[in-house]
Amino acid sequence: MLMRWTVKLVKYFSLLGVLGLAVACLYCWHLTAMVEKRFAGRRWNIPSVIYSDTLLLYPGAAFTRQAIVQRLEATGYSQKSSAPLSEGEFLVYKDALEVSLRPLAVPGKRRKGFVAILVFEEGRIASISHLQSGKGVSVLELEPEVLMRYFGREREIRDVVSLDELPDSLQHAVLSAEDHRFFEHKGIDFRGIARALVINLRHGTIRQGGSTLTQRLAKNYFLTPERTLKRKLNEVFISLAIEWAFEKEEILELYLNEIYFGQKGSASINGVGAAARFYFDKPARRLTLAESATLAGPIKGPNLYSPYKNRKRSRTRRNVVLASMHKYGWIDKEAMNRAQAEPVRTSGYKAYRRKAPYFLDYVSSQLREIYPSTTLSSEGFSVYTTLDPRVQDAAEKALARGLDRLERNRPSLRRKDPTRRLQGAIVVMQPRTGNILAMVGGRDYHTSQFNRATQAQRQPGSCFKPLVASVLLDRFTPSDVFSNEARSYTVNGERWRPKNFSPEKEKALTMRKLLTISSNRASVDMVVRGGVNRAAERLKAFQFAVAPPALPSMVLGASEVTPLELARAYAVFASDGISPFPLSLKDVVSEKEEVLVGRFMDVSPVLSPGEAYLVTSMLESVVEEGTGRSLRRLGVSVPVAGKTGTTSNYRDAWFVAYTPDLLALVWVGFDNNDSTGVTGGRAALPIWADLAKALPEYLSGNDFVRPPDVITRKVCTQSGKLAEGSRCPVRREEVFLETLPPDGPCPIHGKSNFIERMGQGVRSLFQ
């Protein structure tokens, strides 16, 4: 009887076992399909990276050795004390640099890595050459800087690498530290579980875990960190499914790209690719044996064994890993001893910091017109921009110093409330390409994210006079004379009487002089005589968001513009009459190196080259002898064309100026339109000077090139007509369009006028 019941129980439990095994197999099959589907698509969300522009270096460029060192360090190069150099390292000599350049791979440009020698002399690059061949290099391009990452919800930094790219030492270090029997088990290591159980019982506490590398991958990739029996069972089944679906090498590659290595600010470092950059500032394929063992240490506990947290503990853990590598036969005793004797050297912790925040907001707004934020935070795009980090840094510092200086010298400008403080904006462009090199939208991004460079609608004041003058150059010349006397005009049925900023003795001014001293009355006379409606119509070519109204007051800058719009308008003068598109976004490249978006120079003609040059010539007079003359006193001696601007009640202070290579605009004011009590020449111009002096590479000293359709003639400054020899007391060389030369001799000091005056004198004697 007992025997029969025993047989029945055996059959019953056997059946249950078979059913359980069948259910387990079906569940594993189901999980295998899920695993394969999950790994068949995008395995990780990779944040897109926004880069600055590359940096062009050439013999004669105004770069100091220290400026190049700063750029190299910003792009991840490491300074060494002796040769030979590995890729991404450099040596500093007294007047030279030796740089082992990394390969360059940006849209449309490829360059192999090589060792270059840069020699410096008197603040310039004297020569660039190949170390190996000794041949000279005419142009050297340095890779761009990382400006920002588009993080998703997880905020993970990960550089995915294939197993083939990783040194054996790194693979063996991780396996020694985490799962040395990885290639022997099938996802569950029963021997390891038993060993861990014995050790833990012996010590009466959890000293060792029995989880395999595959189990940890299953937990990290598919499960939550909760400690429940259900989660543990799922971990086991998913591990078996992973082992069933993939080869061991594939699993190891997945694991090495998934491991968590610590925090960089609010972002987590995941995978050996990102960890190698984070700890040693080099690609994982170039890790040494000691570095590989150091990197394997934090896997067990990033907060415990990170060399940034505790270098001594990190070294102890590294040496344990090296000893394990020797124990399991992956390195010999000599290699272990050498590596254990090395100090732990890291590249130094660099917190994640968003650079050029206002510029990046501007770029992001353009990107979001093309891609949703989920795509940008997961697809791993490389976004290349026009930003020059050196120019951006100089602009931010110049604005901060300038605003602090104004508040220090004028206590009335100080505000306790950070949100009400004196503000400013800077836009720096290459006028011929439209490339935005720098953008500062305020003095403190953390206090206010309002981008004054692109969003603030402000009156440009006298900065608008050259724009109006430019569209009237088909009727007037720089030497034509306009009335500077008090006069009233009827505007919309009401009398309007423009006033000058300060008393002016001259009753008449040439176009050049009215721009030089920024006369309001003569400017209004110019636009009225030239045709208000006609001028307003031609100004539309400058593509302001809101066209200036057809009123005489438009020449005084009564309409509103953004700083970026005004900078673009002035770029027309510096680029032979062509209006460039303000370009910040150059290319968007996929992970597969496919160019998805290419933004190129979009230009439109506004003026003829001759008209643009005439305006530039007149704006040079502003800097040489007019409202911008303090620029010379502040140390800017190269050819510059510019214009100051100040609006009613001193609400806005402007200075926009350009060289043949660079255009920069500075605005200063309060967001709530409080009066600053300071002109553009005193508030904005000194900031422009600070910025320009910090960028010698953009101040070549070249003159503006006169186009062939411009001629020069000597004119009388009083009449604006052709000078009559010595009879005209003050003469100057003036520029004219070939199609619109001066139309006659000076009527004040000419021959006919002289004879007429003599005749009048003789007649008076006999009367």
Report whether pLDDT(2) > 80. Answer: no
User: Is the residue at 312 inside a domain?
Assistant: yes
User: Is the residue at 656 inside a domain?
Assistant: yes
- Lowest-confidence range among 399-408, 463-472, 492-501? 492-501
Letter string b/e over residues 727-748, b meaning 16 or more CB atoms within 10 A of that residue's CB: bbeebeebbbbeebebeebbeb
Instruction: For the chain, give the percent of residues with pLDDT over 90.
Output: 55
In the numeric block, which tokens belong to residue 154? 């997880």
333 with 211, same domain: the answer is yes
Choose the final residue of a domain: 515, 535, 555: 555
**Alpha-carbon span 162 to 316, nearest angstrom:** 29
Confidence of residue 40 (pLDDT cuts 50, 70, 90): low
Report whether pLDDT(757) > 50. Answer: no
Confidence of residue 192 (pLDDT cuts 50, 70, 90): low
In the numeric block, which tokens belong to residue 688? 């422009």
233 with 248, same domain: the answer is yes
**pLDDT of amino acid 764:** 43
Q: Enumerate the H helices of 550-590 as residue ranges.
A: 563-574
Smallest Cα–Cα separation from 554: which of 524, 578, 594, 519? 524
Confidence of residue 21 (pLDDT cuts 50, 70, 90): low
The angle that helices 532-539 and 520-530 make with each other, rounded to 10 degrees, is 90
User: Is the residue at 501 inside a domain?
Assistant: yes
| Three-class secondary structure of residue 522 per DSSP | helix
Q: Enumerate the H helices of 246-288 as residue ranges.
A: 248-258, 271-280
Confidence of residue 17 (pLDDT cuts 50, 70, 90): low
Report whether pLDDT(149) > 90. Answer: no
223 with 331, same domain: the answer is yes
Mean pLDDT over 359-374 rounds to 83
**pLDDT of amino acid 16:** 55
635 with 497, same domain: the answer is no
Q: Are 563 and 583 within 8 A, CB to CB?
A: no
528 with 593, same domain: the answer is no
170 with 318, same domain: the answer is yes
Q: Is 602 exposed, middle or buried (0-12, 13-18, 19+ CB in 10 A)?
A: exposed
Mean pLDDT over 57-81 rounds to 91
**pLDDT of amino acid 15:** 56
Mean pLDDT over 367-374 rounds to 76
446 with 469, same domain: the answer is no
Full 3-state SS string of 74-143: HCCCEECCCCCCCCCEEEECCCEEEEECCCEEECCEEECCCEEEEEEECCEEEEEEECCCCCECCCEEEC
Beta pairing class for 508-510 and 96-100: unpaired
169 with 251, same domain: the answer is yes
**pLDDT of amino acid 480:** 94
Residues 6+ apart with CB under 8 A from 45: 152, 154, 156, 377, 378
Confidence of residue 158 (pLDDT cuts 50, 70, 90): confident
- Lowest-confidence range among 87-91, 243-247, 399-403? 243-247
Choose the final residue of a domain: 672, 704, 736: 704
387 with 440, same domain: the answer is yes
Report whether pLDDT(223) > 90. Answer: no
User: Is the residue at 638 inside a domain?
Assistant: yes
Supply the CATH number for residue 245's domain: 1.10.3810.10
Report whether pLDDT(740) > 70. Answer: yes
What pTM does this model have? Answer: 0.83
Dihedral of the CA atoms 465, 468, 474, 477 (nearest 10)?
-10
The angle that helices 229-245 and 2-40 make with each other, rounded to 10 degrees, is 70
Angle at 161 between CA 357 and CA 253, to 5 degrees: 135
User: Is the residue at 25 inside a domain?
Assistant: no
**pLDDT of amino acid 188:** 76
Instruction: For the chain, give the percent of residues with pLDDT over 70.
Output: 85
Name the amino acid, one letter, at 463. C
User: Is the residue at 62 inside a domain?
Assistant: yes
Domain that holds residue 502: 461-555
Express each pLDDT in 576-624 by its tens digit.
999 999 999 988 888 777 887 766 556 789 999 999 999 999 999 999 9
Supply the CATH number for residue 498's domain: 3.40.710.10
Domain count, the chain: 5
200 with 259, same domain: the answer is yes
**Chain position carrying tokens 């005793």:** 333
Looking at the chain, how many residues does it have? 767
Confidence of residue 724 (pLDDT cuts 50, 70, 90): confident
Q: List Cα–Cα distances, 132 to 68, 237, 248, 411, 670, in angstroms.
A: 21, 57, 42, 60, 57
Name the amino acid, one letter, at 627. T
Report whether pLDDT(123) > 70. Answer: yes
The mean of the pLDDT values for the chain is 86
Q: Are 554 and 459 within 8 A, CB to CB?
A: no
Residues 6+ apart with CB under 8 A from 242: 35, 187, 214, 217, 218, 251
Name the amino acid, one letter, at 170. L
Smallest Cα–Cα separation from 487: which of 498, 476, 502, 503? 498
User: Is the residue at 118 inside a domain?
Assistant: yes
**Alpha-carbon span 645 to 653, nearest angstrom:** 6
Report whether pLDDT(24) > 80. Answer: no
Report whether pLDDT(99) > 90. Answer: yes
Mean pLDDT over 338-362 rounds to 86
Choose the final residue of a domain: 533, 555, 577: 555
Q: List Cα–Cα distances, 29 to 41, 219, 238, in angstroms.
A: 19, 18, 10
136 with 172, same domain: the answer is no
Confidence of residue 240 (pLDDT cuts 50, 70, 90): confident
650 with 531, same domain: the answer is no
Report whether pLDDT(244) > 50. Answer: yes
- Lowest-confidence range among 36-45, 133-142, 209-218, 674-683? 36-45
Dihedral of the CA atoms 204, 207, 213, 216 (nearest 10)?
80
- Lowest-confidence range among 4-8, 201-205, 380-384, 491-495? 201-205
User: Is the residue at 201 inside a domain?
Assistant: yes
